[in-house]
Amino acid sequence: MAKPNKILGIPRRNFYGIIVFALILSTVPALLRFNTYYVYLATDIILIASLVAAWNIIGGYAGQLDLAASAYMALGAVVTGNLLAFYGLTPWLGIPIGVLIALGVAVAVGYPTFRFGIKEVWYALLTAALVVILSRIYWLIYGSTETYLPTYEWSWFYLRFNRYEPFYYMLVVMLAIVLWINYRIRHSKLGYYLNAIREDELAAEALGIDVRRYKLYALMIYATLASIIGGIYVCITGVVGYRNFDPWLGITTAVMGIVGGLGSVEGAVMSGMILRTLEDYLRGTIGSQYPGSHLLVYGIILIVVGVLKPEGLASLIEYVKKRIPWLKS
């Protein structure tokens, strides 16, 4: 049966929203007058926004506080990077291989974890520990030396450029895809199941939802997206090392997702962009005198949001939506 209201499986309104959003974002480099540094910052912000949007699937929809975003991202990054650096393999093949390995780790960790009913704080701690474990394993294998990717002036084959604009546009496309997947999940059986699991896992199970399976699906989709983002990330920075497995990135990703409002991908993207911009701004201005001050601000925002407004930015978006009639569905 045809559903006229939908394009590519998501509501027409959301589809046009993504297109308009991507078009607005694609004007940004021109607005920045193609200044290399500013375009780099913009690229970084889009990267984080995509990562937070991907996190929204496991954290927001499935309600599992996953702190291992950087683990899956780094797996994509180190696999892609090492294949390119040591075997000259193009990232176009390296990224899929990285995705497969990240998926393997996600299933190997996620299956027993969900099978044994690990949730809430224990899930969060387990995923935080996962980042450290992977970092240590990588360190044991490759040591603390960092590998640098070969440089090319302008190579689409090796995804290495001397400017950041190609990456910027790639990540805008990636962000659009992540948003599309988010909407797609929200309006599918999987999304309704995940929503039920987040609200009350026991009740969901009692209703016959295979809780473990759908949590695992959410984890797998999220790990896939995060590792693709990681594969692009490594081509931007050109450095591979054990530092890619950064526990703090995993925590800040979750922080941005929570500040954005759990289950709201718009809020997640917004908070990712705002907080990262703020972070870069603070780092550039007062960060040199007071290292860590930008993250201090994060902490304060997080406490304030947690104590005063646990719904996050999403409630603000809802408020605006109610005021503007044509945004009402």
**Residues 162, 165, 168, 170: is their CA dihedral positive or negative?**
negative
Q: Which of 288, 224, 300, 295 is nearest to 54 (CA)?
A: 224
**Cα–Cα distances in angstroms (integers) from residue 108 to residues 19, 111, 128, 321, in the given order:** 36, 6, 16, 41
Nearer residue to other proteins within complex by CB, 86 or 116: 116
Using CB under 8 A, pick the residue from 76, 81, 191, 247 that binds other proteins: 247
Under DSSP, the state recorded for 158 is: T
Q: Which residues pair with 10 in a beta bridge?
A: 7
Contact present, 55 and 253 (Cβ < 8 Å): yes
Nearer residue to other proteins within complex by CB, 91 or 250: 250
Name, in order, each residue with C-beta under 8 angstroms of 221's C-beta and a sequence gap of 6 or more. 57, 181, 185
Quickly count: other Cβ atoms within 10 Å of residue 5's Cβ: 10
Using CB under 8 A, pick the residue from 122, 154, 156, 281 that binds other proteins: 122
Nearer residue to other proteins within complex by CB, 60 or 230: 60
Nearer residue to other proteins within complex by CB, 7 or 133: 133
Nearer residue to other proteins within complex by CB, 149 or 314: 314
Nearer residue to other proteins within complex by CB, 84 or 305: 305
Q: Is 251 in the site for other proteins (CB under 8 A)?
A: yes
In the numeric block, which tokens belong to residue 113? 């974890």
In the numeric block, which tokens belong to residue 183? 């909407």
Q: Is 125 in the site for other proteins (CB under 8 A)?
A: yes
Using CB under 8 A, pick the residue from 100, 133, 173, 278 that binds other proteins: 133
> Interaction with other proteins in 90-119: which residues (CB under 8 A)?
109, 112-113, 116-118
Smallest distance, other proteins to C-beta of residue 270, A: 17
Residue ranges that bind other proteins, judged by CB under 8 A: 63, 65, 109, 112-113, 116-118, 120-122, 124-126, 128-130, 132-133, 136-137, 139-140, 247, 251, 254-255, 258, 262, 290-293, 295-296, 298-303, 305-307, 310
